[in-house]
Structure 1
Amino acid sequence: MASATNKYASMTDRQVCAWALDFHGDWKAELEIVKKEMKRRGTKCHFGSDYYQPAIDAWRSGQHAKALDYARKGAAEGDLDLIYVIGNLHWNDDSPFRKDEEGIKWYTINAEMGDRDGQYQLGLINEKGFRKQPKNYSEAFRLYTLAADQGHEKAHVQLAYLHYYGKGIPKNVAKAKEILLKAQDFNNQYAYSLLGWIYENDESDIGSALPLYTKAAELDDVWSMRRLARTYQYSKSHIDYEKAVFWNEKAMQKGNGIATNDLGDLYENGRGVKQDTQKAIELYMKAIEMGEDFGKISMGGLYERGEYVERDLEKARKWYQDALNSKLSDGHREQAKTFLARVEDAIAAEKLAARYKRDPNRHDVAVIIGNQNYKKYGRDIPDVAPAINDAKQIKSYFTDILGIDPENIIYVEDAKTADLIRIFGNHRSHKGDAYSWVREGKSNLYVYYAGHGAPGDAGDAYLVPTDASADNIEISGYSVAQLYGNLSKIKTRSTTVILESCFSGNSDAGSVITNASPVYMKAQNTDIPTNLNVITAGSANELASWTKDKQNGLFTHYYIKGMSGEADSAEYGNQDGVVSTHELQAYLDDTVTYFAKRHYKREQTVQITLSQ
């Protein structure tokens, strides 16, 4: 050891810094000797050789041998920058001199002799475990700290990541935020994105997160593009479909598959762009080609829902099964399992329902209303997530099982007050569209409503149009008593009213009534005229629950299944091919009532009242 130290004692600083060029032996042990010698001298290796730029120019032009020659000449003068370049030429994929152990050797020499670039690069290798190198978070933390102390901007950000995720050190979100707040001056995309995530995820402050994500996205950070797109596409508080389209397109251009899939969803539903089913399918397929297998789930959903293509449960089943056979995240795999089970259930139900299909009456009429999107009117009324899907499935039931001509169906999504008056009339006249469409004494009339209901001050029930005001339901709502009264004046063979709603003022989405607690708002049962059949999702003060996946109202889901034959099975009925009221009630008590209690710890009993 002493002789080795004496060997360097007679050398200049630059000669000592160049020690590794012609050294053969245990370079790690020799490096420690050199570090001690430099410490004894109180000097550091220098930067700025005249060979640096020629080496970089040669490297960028693909002349790697020439670049290595220049780098070694500069390193011979003790230039740490060119020692780092030697490391790059041995580490980078595009270099013919790539040899991982040599790259790490030169990075290590560079880092330990005080260069922040080598410290940062070696820190990354230890943190990420590149090229099958063992991960060492503690070593990464040490190296990042050395680089950060010398002002390396990216090293500050990586330190914040280690603090935030607790890798190599105890998790410390506050310390990570402190570092990132200072690092904003660096205009670093990763600093912006992680600080945005801390605001969103740890402090529930999406308002502070969005400007940071935007800054990061403008610096080409794809992850931040995705956070912006998903927020504008799916959040409850910051919906902006045009911005969602913009950022999904940006991320797609960077090769992001899930952004491509989400862009397909926007085209499928006409959000922020003109509705275009073919474009949606092209984007879903492109996402799959990009390796994003969630696109298969999206394709399955397209055929299962049958909104913009012909409903095809067999195709839906195939796509969901293909998704399960692919590489999915745990969450997406559970989704695919749930959707596949639902489709297989629906296929079985359709086969069963064929036995219960009624002979069509060409004069029958149906009114279907699905009120889902309340928030777009800014009236502080929460959305009813499954309402439109419920309405579409009821429409399929009415046409496929009851045999109602689609031309005889009044179908409205997100009905406003004016729509309800136009269809059902008002206190002055019952002669709305429902009256006009019915053939007196020949038509059976079916009315289905999915959406919010709420009580007035006196407890009387109201349907809630999408443009209603939460603080004056009695003025902006549509009275259920008015609905029943007007329908009772229409001369039909029979009139059946089906309400997927509750009138307590509360819902699975939250309270419909402002400045009051629904606990104290006691809704009253509305008197039902004797010539109406009325089926409601629950009694006056019960909540109308949703299925766990929020795809359907619990009542509508099981009402369709029950009326399609399940209620006539041996467990509930006599299997005579007809679902009786008694069988339906027994079935709904065993399904709706049970699952409302099991999933939500609440009471919900479907109410069936028949005409006399």
Structure 2
Amino acid sequence: MPIVRGGLRREIKDDLSKMSIAREEEDFDTAADYAQKLAEGGAVEAQSLLAFFYHNGTGVKKNPKKAFFWAARGAESGDAPAQRLIAVFYANGLGTPKDLVQSVYWNRKAADKKDPYAMINLAVAYENGTGVPADPSAALELYRRALAQGTLVAASAADVQSRVARLEKTLGAAVRPAAAPVVAAPSAAKAPAAPAAPAAPAAVRSDIDELPASRPVRPKAVAVVIGVERYRESLPKADFAAADARLAAEYFKRVLGVSEENLALLVDGRATKSDFEKYFEQWLPNHADKDSEVFVFFSGHGAPDPGKGDAYLVPFDGDPTYIKQTGYSVKRLYALLGKLPAKSVTVALDSCFSGAGGRSVLAKGARPLVTVRTDAPPSRVTVIAASAGDQISNSWPEKGHGLFTYYFLKGLKEKDGDIRAAYDYLKPEVTRAARRSFNSDQEPQWRRGQ
């Protein structure tokens, strides 16, 4: 499994084998020890297993927060069992605030990798209208796909077959004659049963959530996409920022041609200040060369330094009271991007820095509007900002996204990935929508380094 490079490859491979053998022999303490070591080293299989261990209390003390942390690591790396598990956590509020929309998102990612249990969970969501608008036809198709995998345990297969029969009767569909084969139940240590999401109002879904067709991969396209909706400190949520980032990542892959290995997606707990430093200061320079087209997207809170007027992005662990120590300076970001040997760098910021509300936070006791210094980007760097320095960046509940992000992604889709054309489209649309829907001024900005 190509997880690490260089001299560690053999050691990791051997330790993965030892972890697997210990697990098969039900020596869970040993398996957990290996899983912890390997997970910290970046082994995706170990991250996912460690999440299951912390979830079940197998070989370690049960810890929902640690289970969520490691599931998030595995899920973001593309592991289907981890994606299914984190969907369970979001559906039930285990180790993280309850979020049915995120549960659907991760079940869909795992279902796309042909995980039958994720297909079942997603079907239940469509059947009940939990996290998505109710769609019995979509639920029926997902149940059928899960059965067709032929890997469901007997109890799960029987339950799904009864659901299929009920939906076929309701929808008047023809009953499919053949039942899928079943297999023996897995041990409790391998994967917990994935409970169905509880009933809740249907989530908002807009036209941009219908993904565009994929275009050819551009090997030199590189992207860092960040969304911080919830914060470790007691800060207001940046509504829809996590969904903004995940959808932006899909658009960057499909419209701009960024490959999976050239895209870093950082969301909530995986978007700490140290993550910003890692990906902007190490990962990105290692992936960019003189022919690269670099894209950076950030959705979340910004904050000003009230004393100097400098702008900061607020990471998951940021604190506006100590913003110089815990935030990530926009000036620092521009300087780092300017040093890249890339052909071009485009930065899209769905954030604001005035401290007046929207996607902006301010230290307690500071005045509510700070004049933020607008730093010019360096040569070859273009910045598309959601608003001017003294304005706020609005979230748009009607669409389930940031107002800027909604029109930015819609522009990318409709203008075939032409960034300038997308901006020319979005600026008047955002300005009009902000005045019409929020009675506020929000005028996106285009800044290009000379």
Give TM-score, length-normalised by structure 2: 0.57
Structure 1 residues 528 and 518: CA distance shift in structure 2, 3 A: same
Q: 1:469 and 2:319 equivalent?
A: yes
In 2, Cα distance between the equivalents of 1:602 and 1:579?
Answer: 28
Which residue among 347, 351, 364 is the counterpart of 1:497? 347
d(CA) in 2 for partners of 1:399, 1:287: 26
For 2:276, the aligned partner's letter is L
Counterpart residue number, 1:610: 448
Alignment of 1:234-313 (within 5 A): 266-267=88-89, 269=91, 271-272=93-94, 277=107, 282=120, 297=133
Residue 3 (structure 2) aligns with: none
Say whether the 8 Å CA contact 1:525–1:539 is kept in structure 2: no
Cα distance in 1 between the residues matched to 2:286 and 2:395: 34
Q: 1:499 deviation in Å?
A: 0.9
Which residue does the alignment assign to 1:368? 225
Answering whether residue 242 of structure 2 is matched by residue 420 of structure 1, we say no
Q: Deviations over 1:296-323 (max 9, x none)?
A: 72679x99xxxxx99xxxxxxxxxxx9x
- Give yes or no for the alignment of 1:408 onto 2:246: no
Alignment of 1:43-192 (within 5 A): none
Equivalent position to 1:390, from 225, 238, 244: 244
Residue 36 of structure 2 aligns with which residue?
none
Q: Kindly tell me: are residues 406 and 522 of structure 1, through their superposed partners in 2, closer, same or farther at Cα, counting changes over 3 Å? A: same
Q: In the alignment, is the contact (CA less than 8 A) between 2:303 and 2:361 conserved in 1? A: no
Unaligned runs of 5+ in 1: 1-240, 243-263, 304-308, 311-321, 327-331, 426-431, 569-576
Matched residues, percent identical?
Answer: 28
User: 1:326-375, CA deviations, whole angstroms, 9 ceiling, x for partnerless residues?
Assistant: 9xxxxx99x58x64xx25x655x73xx67xx4x5321221111111111x
Match of 1:508 among 353, 358, 369: 358
Deviation, 1:279, is 6.0
CA shift for structure 1 position 413: 1.1
Q: Name the residue aligned to 1:185.
A: none
C-alpha distance 283-589 of structure 1, shift in aligned 2 (>3 A): closer
Letter in 2 for 1:605: E
Output the TM-score relative to the length of structure 1: 0.43
Contact 1:380 1:470 in 2 (8 A): no
Distance 2:445 2:391 in 1: 11
Trace 1:526-545 onto structure 2 (pairs within 5 A).
526-545=375-394
Between the aligned partners of 1:513 and 1:585, the Cα distance in structure 2 is: 32
Output the CA distance in 2 between the equivalents of 1:410 and 1:586. Answer: 27
Q: 1:460 to 1:523 in 2, by over 3 A?
A: same
Query: In the alignment, is the contact (CA less than 8 A) between 1:448 and 1:497 conserved in 2?
Result: yes
CA contact (8 A) 2:221 2:262 kept: yes
Output the amino acid matched with 1:561: K
Please state which structure has a larger fraction of its residues in helix.
1
Given that 2:359 and 2:394 are in contact with CA atoms closer than 8 Å, whether structure 1 keeps it comes out as no
Note the C-alpha offset of 1:410. 1.4
SS in 1 for 2:265: strand
Q: Distance in 1 between matches of 2:386 and 2:255?
A: 21
Listed as ranges, the gaps of 5+ residues in structure 2 are 1-63, 66-85, 97-102, 108-115, 140-144, 147-166, 172-199
Note the C-alpha offset of 1:551. Answer: 2.0
Secondary structure of the structure 2 residue equivalent to 1:474: helix
CA distance 1:547–1:285, shift in 2 (3 Å): same
Aligned to 2:4: none
Task: From the superposition, tell whether residues 270 and 366 of structure 1 become closer, same or farther in structure 2 (CA, over 3 Å).
Answer: farther
Partner of 2:422: 584
Q: What does residue 328 of structure 2 align with?
A: 478
Alpha-carbon distance between aligned partners in 2 of 1:372 and 1:534, rounded to the nearest angstrom = 22
Query: Which one of the candidate residues 399, 412, 435 is aligned to 1:597?
Result: 435
Is 1:459 aligned with 2:309? yes
Aligned Cα root-mean-square deviation (Å):
3.9
| Cα deviation 1:156-191 (Å, max 9, x = unaligned) | xxxxxxxxxxxxxxxxxxxxxxxxxxxxxxxxxxxx
Deviation at 1:385, TM superposition (A): 2.2
**Superposed displacement of residue 287, structure 1:** 8.3
**Post-superposition shift, 1:608?**
1.1
SS at match of 2:295: strand
> Could you say if the C-alpha distance between residues 436 and 265 of structure 1 is closer, same or farther in structure 2, counting changes exceeding 3 Å?
closer
Amino acid at match of 2:267: E
Q: Secondary structure at the match of 1:368?
A: strand
Secondary structure of 2:294's aligned partner: strand
In the TM superposition, what whole-angstrom CA distance separates every residue of 1:509-542 from its partner, at most 9, and x where no partner exists?
Answer: 77443222323x2212122112211111111121
* 280 and 271 in structure 1: CA distance in 2 versus 1, 3 angstrom threshold: farther
Asked if the contact 2:411/2:423 (under 8 Å) is kept, the reply is no
Aligned-partner Cα distance in 2 for 1:473–1:368: 21
Residues 1:460 and 1:286: Cα distance change in structure 2 (over 3 Å): closer
Instruction: Show CA shifts across 1:529-581 (max 9, x none).
Output: 1221111111112111111236211111111111222xx5xxxxxxxx67462
Contact between 1:452 and 1:507, CA under 8 Å: does it hold in 2? no
Query: What is the CA–CA distance in structure 2 between the aligned matches of 1:423 and 1:498, rounded to whole Å?
Result: 16
Shift of residue 466, structure 1, vs aligned partner: 1.2
Task: Report the Cα offset of residue 501 of structure 1.
Answer: 0.8
Contact kept, 8 Å, 1:502 with 1:544, in 2: the verdict is yes
- Tell me the distance in 2 between the aligned counterparts of 1:587 and 1:295: 30
Distance in 1 of aligned mates of 2:342 and 2:229: 29
| Aligned position for 2:23 | none
- Please give the alpha-carbon distance, in whole angstroms, between the structure 2 residues aligned to 1:407 and 1:504: 35
In the aligned structure 1, how far is the partner of 2:328 from the partner of 2:387? Answer: 19
Q: How does 1:546-585 map to 2 (within 5 A)?
A: 546-549=395-398, 551-565=400-414, 568=415, 579=418, 581=420, 583-585=421-423
- Find the aligned partners of 2:133 and 2:376 in 1 and give their Cα distance: 46
Q: Which amino acid aligns with 1:490?
A: L
Question: Which gives a bigger RCO, structure 1 or 2 (Cα 8 Å, sep 6+)?
Answer: 2
Report the CA distance shift for 1:511/1:533 in structure 2 as closer, same or farther (over 3 A). closer
Q: Is the partner of 1:390 in helix, strand or coil?
A: helix
Residue in 2 aligned with 1:380?
A: 234
Classify the secondary structure of the residue corresponding to 2:396. Answer: coil
Q: Following TM superposition, by how much is the alpha carbon of 1:508 offset from its aligned partner in structure 2, in angstroms?
A: 3.0
Contact 1:369/1:450 (8 A) holds in 2 = yes
Q: 2:285 aligns with which of 435, 443, 466?
A: 435
CA distance in 2, matches of 1:390, 1:384: 10
Task: Name the SS for the 2:371 alignment partner.
Answer: coil
Distance 1:287 1:401 in 2: 28
1:404 to partner: Cα distance: 1.0
Q: Quickly say closer, same or farther: Cα 1:273–1:450, change in 2 above 3 A.
A: closer
Work out the CA distance in 2 between the residues paired with 1:287 and 1:413. 23
- SS for the counterpart of 2:225 is strand
Report what 1:255 is aligned to.
none
CA gap of 1:598–1:410, structure 2 versus 1, over 3 A, is same
